[in-house]
Amino acid sequence: MGLFTNESLKGHHALVTGATGGIGYETALLLTSMGASITITGRRKERLKQLEKQILEQNPEAVVLSISADISIEEDRDSLISKAEKEIGDVDLLVNSAGSLGGDIVEELPQAELEQIMHINYTVPILLSQQVFKKMKRNKRGAIVNVSSLSGLRGTFGGTAYCGSKFALIGFTQAFALEAIEHDVRVNAVCPGYVETDMGQNAIRSKAKRENRSFEEQYELANKGLPSGRITKPEEVANTIAFLLTDAASNIVGESVKISGGAVMR
């Protein structure tokens, strides 16, 4: 069987958080094209409806459940999992794609912002994984992919909060992978650099402001500074996530796969 056929993930139920963001959106489209039933969630209701419509236009027979939720809130997480399991069945593929950018240099970093970024980028993926892992463990099948970042592999100026959260997410990925694989559940992470998404452009915009450049100048530098000559497309991150969810990656455990255009090699 080919890797990305319309039956590669048939019989699986995937939950994609942050589905209204660029990476989550493209991941949801790809997983459904590979045969997975899917639950998509995010906070932007109109964007979520747009994604659901696009999935069904792509495949009228797709099984898709759209749930608007703020997964930083315990009640919303509980309701999300309950509805997903009731409507489609046990979740056996989880993509923790929801995330938050932000932060400042240490001297200027408010405690509330630090705690919010750590909560969304680190604590919430753990808590969601806890919930779906119960059924994965019982069924002895499943795969989880956490969306980390190159900022989880090396520090950046002003990145104490964001880098800290993404480093922590990789630590969780590795530790949980050792526990989960005992029950035939694989846990991995992807680590993209700049991606052609709203969040990626905001990161470039912030750096441009700090270095007193226009967005256009900083964007050009970001592209030219990579060995590949360009920043990553969200579809390319989605392809890597999808691969890690398939049986083709059955012996890939606890890895942090870089998608960097050659920016980081180690």
Among candidate residues 25, 162, 194, 219, the one labeled active-site is 162
User: How far apart are the C-alpha atoms of 265 and 250, rounded to whole Å?
Assistant: 24
Looking up tokens 């992978």 gives 177
- Other C-beta atoms within 10 Å of 58: how many? 12
In terms of residues, how long is the chain?
Answer: 266
Cβ 31 vs Cβ 16: under 8 Å:
yes
Handedness of CA 71, 77, 79, 85 (dihedral sign): positive
User: How far apart are the C-alpha atoms of 169 and 197, rounded to whole Å?
Assistant: 21
CA distances from 92 to 13, 52, 134, 260 (A): 6, 20, 10, 28
From 128, 139, 10, 3, select the one nearest 70 (Cα to Cα): 128
User: How far apart are the C-alpha atoms of 51 and 22, rounded to whole Å?
Assistant: 11
- Other C-beta atoms within 10 Å of 3: how many? 13
* Buried residues in 129-150 as b, exposed as e (16+ CB within 10 A): bebbbebbbeeebbbbbbbbbb
Q: Active site includes 162? A: yes
- Residue 72 gets which letter from DSSP? T
C-alpha 114 chain-centroid distance = 20
Looking at the annotation, which residues are catalytic?
Answer: 162
